[in-house]
Chain A
Amino acid sequence: MGKQIMDRTGAVCLLVTILVAKMFTPQPRMVAEQAGSAAWLVVLLTGPLSLLGYWGLSALLVRFPGLSIAQISLKALGRVAGAVVGILYAAYFIWMGGVMLREFVAGFRVAVLPSTPVSVLAMGILVIGLYAAVKGPEVQARLAAYLIPGMAVLLAITVVGVWRLLDWRQLTPVFGYSLRNTLLLSFPLTSKHSEILVLGVLAPLLPTASVRRLGLSALLAGYVGQVLFLLFLGSVFPFPAMSRLFYPMLELTRMIEVSEFIQRIEALFIFLWFFVAAFAMATLITTIASIIRDVTETTLFNPFALSASLLMFTIAFIPFNQVELMWLDWLTLRTWGWAFSFGLPILTLAVAVLRGKRGENGETPETRAG
């Protein structure tokens, strides 16, 4: 995979897609289980916290212009500690990829192919994700630029289709089970935005001066999208129902009523769902392979991408069933994801400041700008 320059719009679309891909997994249900009718509020409250975490990540990327997050770790923390941190990043994404893969394919099985083995579906999505990963982030960014409008159109159709079922009273009580519970939940749920760490891999392909703004735009767009989605979902389904639906997005599309003649169209949404899923897999594989490549300081990409896919495939089959899968997701990714996406970069930044480490030319875009 050679050096590529990424389109800025495409980069933002890529990050937004990976941030909102969770809408198609059981994650809305998990939040509803924990927060009740305040699911949307919890995610709303994660905003300021994730912005704080993002500040650390972006400051690190700006301090080391043109370097990826793994390269920065090596430079700021030294070879051994840097490699450990890089491997932690990679492991986090591999785990995330495995869990998301299982969540996606379990959903497809429920929705369209009930008699097909999950492994076959997982294989299909991984092979195609690997193909997109090998094509590189520039291609993924251009694809995302198509995916975002497509997603917006289909979501708009969904909103219009189920508008008749909206009942804003279902959002009460506003604070869910309790205000304290809502506030306490919002801290670990900043992990919902942990995919922004992908920016750390894209940074070398972007103009350094715009990295911070691009990441912020994507984070805000993803954040607003998730809040609105949960707000909408909460006003369609009462929270006891929402906390029992494995795939709320699928259930939403099932409730679209087009006409008496055409009664069910949810299978058509499979295309969008699949595209988002395959795209997420491609981005995660790219991220993992890039991190390992940077940590090992080689130029290899494809072997690492293949290995990452195999690991994700293996991890996807650790959970025995859907309930176990969600439990694992909540326990690992949603509870501790922030530690990887925001905690490690802030830690690295702190060490870099203490050790006086900077980018190659010792200047940041800000200092260059005077």
Chain B
Amino acid sequence: MRQLFDFLNQLFDPRKRPAQPQQFSLQQPPPPGGKPDVTVSTELPTADLTPTREVQMRAAAAERHIDQLLNPLQGDLTDDVEITVERLRAALHHRETSGLVIRKLVLPASPGRRVYAVFVDGLVDSQSVELAIIEPLMTQTRLQGSLRTGLELLRQVDETLMPGRQVEHVHSLGLVISGIVSGMCALLVETAPGILLVEVRKWPMRAVERPLNEGVLRGPQEGFTEVLKINTTLIRRRLMTPDLIFEPGKIGRRSRTDIAVVYLKGLVSPALLEEVRRRIAHVDTDLLLETGQLEQLIEDSPQGLFPTLQATERPDRTAAALAEGRVAILMEGSPLALIVPAVLTDFLRIPEDYYVKWPFGTFLRIVRTLGLVITLLLPALYIAIADYHHEMIPPALLTAIAASREQVPFPATLEVLMMEVAFEVIREGAIRVPSQLGQTIGIVGALILGQAAVEASIISPILIIIVATTALGSFTIPDYSLNLVIRVSRFVMIFLGATLGLYGVAIGLFAFSVHAVSLKSFGVPYLAPMGPPQPGNPDNMLRGPTFLLDKRPTLARPRDKQRQAEKVMGWRVPPSNNEEET
């Protein structure tokens, strides 16, 4: 039994196996020589941030599964390059698909020895293939020494001809196929053991642009793009510390999407990091195209309404979250980073709150919270009060409302529903059409349609005010996911208000509260830091002055709680007499 355990231990624990390239693992590739390539300078004790055995076993199983999927022709690579090329042709469906290029070269320095370059046209930079691979191989003026064995030749090619390229020496056909379909060029040398994978990717990509949905007036105007490398650079530019870790990994059995788990070593809670790794490692799906899909697979309550992972397109917000000890997840092909844990107040904040003076930051937060409450409750309250609780309306206002509704043939509920549905249609239409048309649709829908409806006595003017205020309120909610929750819940509230008046609205509000209170984001209660309260944290619903934000929020249980010096404005401290003398 013991021997069996040891065998399994060796089999599944990558640290006890011969070094292999990591394909589906969130583990940081071990640095050469077993030592960190960068000296980590931190005053904190270094926590054990290596993935647990469960995560490692899961990753290894996934790796084997992917190998089986990608490599129908199991077995080690042979020295016979022709057989290997045939295997590649079969695995990559060369006869049935277009784009796969297999170029055969004969090395002049070693007459008769063949070399094959295999890549997918369109995924690689053609110029790089020509200049960095084909041309040096054909001229090979720099090749020196003995080239009798394939291994020597392979080493020479790697070290001499492609010094500026990232080159991997692999021995598994599955890894070769995986590399080729992800935009690398495979170099097969006759009689050489293994294959070289040369990094020559060049994909069409969007430039760094302004964030579309998280605009600020004051603050950086850069947003993430669909390219993982660019996104990592955008974060690195804001956190130039060696403690910033990007743990690479792949996810999706067929999509093989690159992801990166980002955190600050020495700050992140090991338990949180391990939980993030564990959840990602357990995701077993074919295709992941966007972080939104991953979000739904790793959140605490997949059936819950509220978003419990924060999706952001802002590098500055991501950097700030990392500096609070949170973890970010980046994915190739998605311009949105996921931040965990995330609580309700995070979805009502924007980075600009911190870039302006604290009274204004607080004011903006109150405005947004008010916007949320208005969006959720105003139409329902209007119906409830107008239909059930007239006594609450002051007589003068009641007369005005009654007069405005005199000609309207519909009950208030139907009026509200018609207008709310019409508004949602206009909003959806304006988003989906080209941007030039979007404004026109908004104007036509909101102004002309509304005006016409009032003049035709289909809708009362007071209702236009209610619906317009509700719409404006919804625009103040900065997070799209939360916005959707509130907009959809509004219809439930309208139904309850129309059925049972304020009693119905109270039912809806209670259910809404219970649901929100019951949620957790990676173990953190969703309504924290208000409940349970976080004493001593002035950055809750209101924002305290910057000079008081010396402690990090404890939501993510960061290992270093001090964010800045208690006397952060040291220049205001009067110098002592000795200092004056010096």
Contact = CB atoms under 8 A, between A and B. Distances in A.
Given A131-B511, A131-B514, A112 B532 contact: no
Contacts of A108: 503
Contact of A143 (B388, B505, B517): B517
Nearest to A273: B506
B392 A275 contact: no
B137 to A, nearest CB: 63
B511 A112 contact: no
Contacts of B510: 128, 132, 274-275, 278
A108 B507 CA distance: 12
B473 interface: no
B503 A146 contact: no
B556 interface: no
Contacts of A116: 500, 503
B163 interface: no
A354 interface: no
A139 B514 contact: yes
A142 B504 CA distance: 23
Interface in B459-515: 500-507, 509-511, 513-514
Contacts of B194: none
A263 interface: yes
B337 interface: no
B371 interface: no
Contacts of A120: 500
Given A7-B532, A270-B506, A274-B506, A112 B501 contact: yes
Nearest to A116: B500
A264 interface: yes
B503 A139 contact: no
A142 B507 contact: no
A150 B464 CA distance: 32
A139 B506 contact: no
Contacts of B513: 143, 146, 275
Nearest to A121: B503
A263 B394 contact: yes
Contacts of B518: 135-136, 139
Interface string A94-125: 00000000000000100011001000110011
A350 interface: no
Interface in A233-291: 261-265, 267-268, 270-271, 274-275, 278, 282
A172 interface: no
The secondary-structure label for the interface of chain B is helix
Interface residues of B, number: 28
A264 B518 CA distance: 35
Contacts of A145: 531-533
B527 interface: yes
A217 B500 CA distance: 38
B392 to A, nearest CB: 5
Nearest to A267: B389
Interface string B359-402: 00000000000000000000000000100110110101000000
B529 interface: no
Contact of A267 (B391, B525, B530, B533): B391
Interface centre among B389, B392, B502, B514, by most A CB within 10 Å? B514
Interface in B516-531: 517-518, 525, 527, 530-531
A10 interface: yes
Contacts of B505: 271
Nearest to B392: A267
Nearest to A270: B502
A170 to B, nearest CB: 28
A314 interface: no
Interface residues of A, number: 34
A262 B396 CA distance: 10
Contacts of B394: 261-263
B388 A124 contact: no
Interface in B220-242: none
Nearest to A8: B532
A299 to B, nearest CB: 20
Interface in A335-355: none
Nearest to A274: B506
B531 to A, nearest CB: 5
A9 interface: yes
Given A132-B514, A139-B517, A275-B510, A113 B532 contact: no
Contacts of B517: 135, 139, 142-143, 146
Contact of A124 (B391, B507, B531): B507
B531 A128 contact: no
Contacts of A9: 532-533
B502 to A, nearest CB: 5
A274 B530 CA distance: 22
A143 B517 CA distance: 6
Contacts of A125: 507
A112 B389 contact: yes
A112 B503 contact: yes
A129 to B, nearest CB: 9
Interface string B324-339: 0000000000000000
A120 B392 CA distance: 23
B531 A113 contact: no
Nearest to B525: A142
A232 to B, nearest CB: 24
B398 to A, nearest CB: 11
A271 B500 CA distance: 13
Nearest to B508: A128
Nearest to A125: B507
A209 B566 CA distance: 36
Interface centre among A108, A139, A142, by most B CB within 10 Å? A142
Interface in A6-23: 7, 9-10
A113 B388 CA distance: 8
A146 B531 contact: yes
Given A142-B532, A145-B532, A146-B513, A264 B506 contact: no
A132 B530 CA distance: 20
A146 B541 CA distance: 14
B532 A10 contact: yes
Interface string B257-272: 0000000000000000
Given A124-B507, A271-B506, A143 B514 contact: yes
Interface centre among B385, B394, B503, B518, by most A CB within 10 Å? B503
B191 to A, nearest CB: 62
Given A112-B388, A262-B394, A267 B511 contact: no
A102 B286 CA distance: 54
Interface string B537-548: 000000000000
Contacts of A121: 500, 503
A113 B501 contact: yes
A91 B506 CA distance: 29
Contact of B500 (A124, A267, A268): A124
A175 B228 CA distance: 79
12 contacts: A9-B533, A128-B510, A132-B510, A139-B514, A145-B531, A146-B517, A262-B394, A265-B392, A267-B391, A267-B502, A268-B502, A282-B514
The 3 closest A-B pairs by CB, nearest first: A274-B506, A139-B518, A135-B518
Given A132-B514, A146-B513, 4 more contacts: A112-B389, A142-B525, A146-B517, A275-B510
